[in-house]
Amino acid sequence: MKINSIHRLSNTGSLVRNKFYESAHGGNLLSAFRLVDELIPDFNRFNLLSAFICPVQKFSGNKIPLALASRIVQNSDSVLCDTVFLRTERPGTKMIDRMFFQPEFIGKVIPGKYILVDDVFTTGITLKGLKTFIEKSGGDVVSAYTLGSSKSTLFEASRLQLRILKGQFPEVDNYFDLSLLTIIQIEYLLKFNSIKNLNILYSENHYKKQFC
Domain spans in the chain, listed from the N-terminal domain onward: 7-149, 159-211
Q: Which residues neighbour 57 within 8 Å (Cβ) at sequence distance 6 or greater?
A: 63, 65, 66, 82, 84, 85, 86
Dihedral pair phi/psi, residue 55, rounded to 5°: -85, 155
**Cα 143 to Cα 156: distance, rounded to the nearest angstrom:** 11
pLDDT value, residue 207: 41
pLDDT value, residue 64: 98
| Residue 38 C-beta-side C-alpha neighbours within 13 Å | 17
Q: Which residues neighbour 126 within 8 Å (Cβ) at sequence distance 6 or greater?
A: 56, 86, 90, 101, 103, 118
Question: Is residue 202 pLDDT above 70, yes or no?
Answer: no
The proportion of the chain whose per-residue pLDDT surpasses 90, expressed as a percent, equals: 79
Question: Is residue 114 pLDDT above 50, yes or no?
Answer: yes
Whether the CA torsion 188, 190, 195, 198 is positive or negative: it is: negative
Which three-class secondary structure state does DSSP give residue 208? helix
pLDDT value, residue 204: 61
The pLDDT tens digits of the residues spanning 39-77 come to: 998 999 999 999 999 999 999 999 999 999 999 999 999
pTM: 0.92
Fold type of domain 7-149: Rossmann fold (3.40.50)
pLDDT value, residue 211: 40
Confidence of residue 212 (pLDDT cuts 50, 70, 90): very low
Confidence of residue 89 (pLDDT cuts 50, 70, 90): confident
What average pLDDT is seen over the chain? 92
pLDDT, mean of residues 129-142: 98
Q: Which of 90, 146, 143 is nearest to 118 (CA)?
A: 146
